């Protein structure tokens, strides 16, 4: 029985991560999260943001982690959808509590502070496309990353417009040298 509940819980978690996070969950976080002293941290930040005429709300990573780990996973894997959901939740809260301020400003933005999952500059690869990452490091000198070409597709266009394509090197086990060679 316990295994069944655990499996269902995992399915629900994966469902939340793969699909949209409920805007109501985010609204609940922004409205109900209490800091160590018992105050409603983000309600107060929203009030301060409005008092100062701002449009951005800063959310701490640690607060999200203590509230719901699924939100962190969702943000990391689907940052565009996640920030859209957070921005919509913030706008809905402001529209409900401060309608005249919401009328003046079309958009509100949520920003994250203290993202702990980091990588080095050289560690940024295509694996991170579409994901949210924090990069740590100091740029002293910028040099381009060196890529290695293993196989090339050549397109030869004749004067009559006819195209001929071929792969080089033709053998699977062969690979190009550091300098490109012109095929025979």
Whether residue 141 is contained in a domain is answered as: no
Pair 15, 69 in one domain: yes
Whether residue 121 is contained in a domain is answered as: yes
pLDDT of residue 144: 79
Pair 178, 92 in one domain: no
Q: Where are the alpha helices (DSSP H) in the chain?
A: 2-18, 23-32, 41-51, 61-67, 69-77, 79-97, 99-104
Q: Residue 107, exposed/middle/buried by CB under 10 A (0-12, 13-18, 19+)?
A: exposed
Please list, in sequence order, all residues whose beta carbon lies within 8 angstroms of the beta carbon of residue 12, skipping any fewer than 6 positions away: none
**What are the tokens at 148?**
């290695």
Whether residue 97 is contained in a domain is answered as: yes
In the block, which residue shows the tokens 């409900």?
A: 96
Pair 14, 92 in one domain: yes
Pair 63, 11 in one domain: yes
Whether residue 50 is contained in a domain is answered as: yes
Q: Would you say how long the chain is, in residues?
A: 184
The CA radius of gyration of the chain, in Å to the nearest whole number, is 25
Cα–Cα nearest to 16, from 63, 85, 66, 62: 85
Q: How far apart are the first and last CA of the chain?
A: 69
pLDDT of residue 7: 55
pTM value surpassing 0.75: no
pLDDT of residue 18: 45
* CA separation for the pair 118, 137 (Å, rounded): 10
Range of the domain at 124: 2-136
Pair 75, 162 in one domain: no
Please say whether the dihedral angle defined by the alpha carbons of residues 161, 165, 169 and 171, taken in this order, is positive or negative. negative
What CATH number did the domain enclosing 85 receive?
Answer: 3.30.1640.10
pLDDT in tens, the chain (184 residues): 455 555 555 555 555 444 456 788 899 999 999 998 999 999 999 999 999 999 999 999 999 999 988 888 888 888 999 999 999 999 999 999 999 999 999 899 999 998 888 888 888 888 888 888 888 888 788 877 777 777 788 898 999 999 999 887 777 766 666 666 666 6
């Amino acid at each position: 029985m316990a295994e069944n509940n655990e499996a269902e819980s995992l399915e629900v978690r994966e469902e939340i991560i793969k699909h949209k996070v409920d805007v109501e969950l985010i609204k609940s976080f922004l409205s109900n999260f209490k800091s160590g002293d018992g105050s409603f941290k983000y309600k107060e930040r929203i009030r301060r943001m409005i008092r100062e005429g701002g449009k951005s709300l800063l959310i701490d990573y640690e607060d999200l982690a203590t509230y719901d780990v699924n939100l962190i996973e969702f943000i990391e894997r689907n940052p565009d959808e996640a920030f859209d959901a957070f921005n919509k939740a913030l706008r809905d809260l402001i529209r409900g509590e401060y309608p005249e301020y919401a009328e003046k400003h079309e958009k509100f933005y949520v920003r994250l502070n203290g993202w702990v999952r980091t990588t080095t500059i050289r560690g940024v690869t295509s694996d991170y496309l579409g994901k949210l990452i924090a990069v740590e490091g100091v740029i002293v000198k910028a040099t381009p990353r060196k890529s290695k070409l293993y196989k090339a597709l050549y397109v030869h266009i004749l004067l009559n417009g006819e195209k001929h394509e071929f792969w080089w090197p033709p053998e699977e086990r062969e690979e190009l040298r550091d300098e490109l060679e012109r095929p025979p």
